[in-house]
Amino acid sequence: MKKTAKLLIASAMTAVLALAGCAQTPSEPIVIGSQAYYSNEIIAEAYALVLEDAGYTVDRQFSLGQRDVYVPALLSGEVDLFPEYTGNLLQYFDATATATAADDVYSALTAALPAGLSALEMSGASDQDSYNVTANFAAQNNLTSIGDLAALTGLKLGGAPELAERPYGPTGLDSFYGVKVEFEATGDATVEALVAGLVNMANVYSADPRIQQLGLVTLADPLGLFLASNVVPIASDAVDQKARDLINKVSQAMTAQDLIAMNVRSVQEQLSPNQIAREWLFSKGLIK
């Protein structure tokens, strides 16, 4: 309920800002949005800091919730810049998309984006769905790849409720790898359910720090069941070329390990997105 309230306030604020910003002036701030997801907020903060460092005025509209809420805001020009993920965004615009490899997904996304929005350079950092098992379970059954599960019976798959219907859910597991599972909607407690043994395998985002912390084993996906989901900045036409170049430098500098390391700092050290992003940008020489 708190989330909804935040969201309402955020959308009300963006609406007011949009009205107030009707007259175009050169000093109009670049509005940067983010999902209500701590890792996404860190990336958005990195964009904001780099632009501010170059003298731009930035308006942070973070924690805007899910795509249903913020994509319309991007399309209407209320938000100018947003950190996104190639695969998940592609599925939003084109539910029938078949590309799964990183480059294919990126070009499919570029084609699928509506007029007025463009995808800047994608980053090597990704945050995508992945199937994970506990180290014990992997050792007992000699598991390294999703296909290794096909030999096992009575498998229970845990994940968010929507996984039941996703193409990479139980149906995809069977058609790609011949793995048969019973689905258990474990919701927000998925990792806990995996560790407690309520399920044998679980869908966890690949940049989730708990994969490292709890020693989970991420199973390889050689057949491309999951869509690659690299971090990609989505910009509206209001973002000028100089700003785009600056953001592209951030994308080039951010590796998958960097993103995980920043997420770990957020979860373990409870640092603010601003501090984490600032220190990372500084270490890469992107801000002074």
| Contact residues: other proteins, CB under 8 A | 1, 66, 68, 158, 160-162, 164-165, 183-190, 192-193, 195-196, 198
Q: Is the dihedral of CA 120, 228, 91, 217 positive or negative?
A: negative
Q: Of 73, 56, 71, whose CA–CA distance to 14 is shortest? A: 73
- CB of residue 19 vs other proteins: minimum separation in angstroms? 24
Using DSSP's 3-state secondary structure scheme, residue 145 falls into strand
* Tokens 């899910």 found at: 66
Nearer to other proteins, 181 or 287 (CB): 181
Closer CB to other proteins, residue 71 or residue 277? 71
Please measure the distance between the N-terminal and C-terminal CA atoms of the chain and give it in whole angstroms.
Answer: 40
Find the shortest distance in angstroms from Cβ 185 to other proteins. 6
Q: How many C-alpha atoms does 92 have within 13 Å on its Cβ side? A: 18
Return the number of the residue (162 or 269) whose C-beta is nearest other proteins: 162
Comparison of 117 and 193: residue with beta carbon closer to other proteins: 193
Q: How far is the CB of 169 from other proteins (least distance, A)?
A: 11
C-alpha torsion 206→212→217→222, nearest 10: 40
For other proteins, the closer CB: 158 or 273? 158
Which residues, in sequence order, are bridge partners of residue 83? 233
Nearest distance from residue 132's CB to other proteins, in Å?
16
Kindly state the smallest distance separating residue 137's Cβ from other proteins, in Å.
16
Distance CA(8)–CA(24), nearest Å, equals: 26
Longest dimension (CA), the chain: 65
Amino acid (one-letter) located at 26: P
Nearest Cα neighbor of 126 from 40, 60, 236, 44 is 40
- What is the closest distance, in whole angstroms, from the C-beta atom of residue 162 to other proteins in the complex? 4
Q: Please say which residue, 152 or 195, places its beta carbon nearer to other proteins.
A: 195
